Copies of this chain bind each other. A is one copy, B any other.
Amino acid sequence: MKQSQLFCKTRREGPKDEVARNAELLIRAGYIHKEMAGVYSFLPLGLRVIEKIKQIVREEMNAIGGEELHLATLQDPEVWAKTDRWNDSVVDVWFKTKLKNDSELGLAPTHEEPLTSMMLNHIHSYKDLPVYVYQFQTKFRNELRSRSGILRGREFLMKDLYSFTTSQEELDKFYEKAAGAYEKIFKRVGIGDVTYRTLASGGMFSKWSDEFQTITKTGEDTIYLDEKKGIAVNGDVYGPQTLDELGLKEKDLQKKKAIEVGNIFKLGTKYSQPLGLVYQDTDGTKKPVVMGSYGIGITRLMGAIVEVFADSKGLVWPKEIAPFQVHLILLEKGKSNADKLYKELTENGIEVLYDDRDLRAGEKFADSDLLGIPARIIVSEKSNEKAGFEVVDRRTGRMAFVTDLKKEIK
């Protein structure tokens, strides 16, 4: 894409009311726009990152048998009343609204109830199980405060997977499979090295749940990490008893700040029971379906990646989720070599943002640093003379003079 045709502009400063580093940088770089506290719109570059993350998540969800669907936002109170979660003192983040006839509706903060209720039409027998379904859907949560940029929005994009199985054993097995898929996802989006499966409270559902926590200095959570074993314990459940149960020793643990990028729960029959989702087993008896839920905040994950990699100059994207792989910077007076290279790279399936604008080199480099595209290629009088190209790695700053570009970039 030619940068002269991109409508969004970079800017020197973020909005004054923005305190989160992730949002401040993304706004300055023109990836997102702040509508109000906790509510952001996604501009073309930001949407490209979101779509790349979604595609990676989608592939891994499909690989473990997930079927994609898309549930509605508007919620019928009747369905939620059955689990008592319509009650604002039980779920305190509802946005509620009304139809013209004055009957109340809610905006889904999560989707266990409507999905479980829908499955009454599709699950009747052990032959219909297991079922694994997932979606990418906007969630609405009426948070009292919202100061963490896209890490904790009032409106945010989530991938939520739900499993429906016949037994606790089947759930346990799939739960580990899902945990494995999560590890693949965090590796593929570039934060595998700093993301740990972390024991956390199971809330109302079970004793434990598992979080995936990404180490960063700006994290909201505190975890205790056994780096050798590659596992961690959330500060919320940290204590002698937990360590004992897990066979961890205090002296092996490091206290770290981290961001929760995923959370998986064994729901058991918490929702199937009150909503009446039962199946007929092989022996003819009716049993409640055993459920699990598995979340990844997609916009939160994008924010976490910003927090992990950004430096003093701006954003730094891992290659797999960068909006473009190559930022081609035109500095020569004519455009013929840069135009030719843009065409060649694009034809070879490489995504290129081509800075063809009539600006000084310093401005182009500052913008390029801020945008954070992994490889920068500079076409200048100098590169033309030498019949090669300068390639700069955004993350390390390492510069190389390359004559065979295809080899370097692929």
Contact = CB atoms under 8 A, between A and B. Distances in A.
A69 B96 contact: no
A42 B144 CA distance: 31
A242 interface: no
A170 interface: no
A144 to B, nearest CB: 5
Contacts of A96: 97
A5 B40 CA distance: 37
Contact of A72 (B5, B40, B119): B40
A40 B69 CA distance: 12
Nearest to A358: B127
A114 interface: yes
Contacts of A50: 70
Interface in A84-121: 95-100, 105, 107, 114, 118-119, 121
A133 B14 CA distance: 23
A36 B46 CA distance: 33
Contacts of A75: 35
A65 interface: yes
Nearest to A130: B7
A122 interface: yes
B69 A43 contact: yes
Contacts of A44: 67-69, 133
Each complex incorporates copies of this chain amounting to 2
Contacts of A8: 122
A97 B95 contact: yes
Given A7-B128, A131-B7, A118 B73 contact: no
A194 interface: no
Contact of A69 (B41, B76, B138, B140): B41
Interface string A5-18: 11111010000000
A228 to B, nearest CB: 40
A33 B116 CA distance: 12
Contact of A138 (B36, B68, B73, B143): B73
A39 interface: yes
A56 interface: no
Contact of A70 (B41, B123, B131, B140): B41
A142 interface: yes
Interface string A24-53: 000000100101100111111011001000
Interface of A: 5-9, 11, 30, 33, 35-36, 39-44, 46-47, 50, 65, 67-76, 95-100, 105, 107, 114, 118-119, 121-123, 128, 131, 133, 138, 140, 142-144, 154-155
Given A6-B67, A41-B118, A43-B69, 12 more contacts: A5-B67, A7-B122, A8-B122, A30-B122, A33-B121, A35-B71, A41-B71, A44-B67, A73-B73, A95-B98, A96-B97, A97-B97
19 contacts: A9-B122, A9-B128, A30-B122, A33-B118, A35-B75, A36-B76, A36-B105, A39-B72, A40-B72, A41-B70, A41-B71, A73-B138, A73-B155, A74-B140, A95-B97, A99-B142, A100-B144, A107-B107, A138-B138
In the complex, the 3 A-B pairs of residues with the closest C-beta atoms, listed nearest first: A7-B131, A42-B70, A41-B71
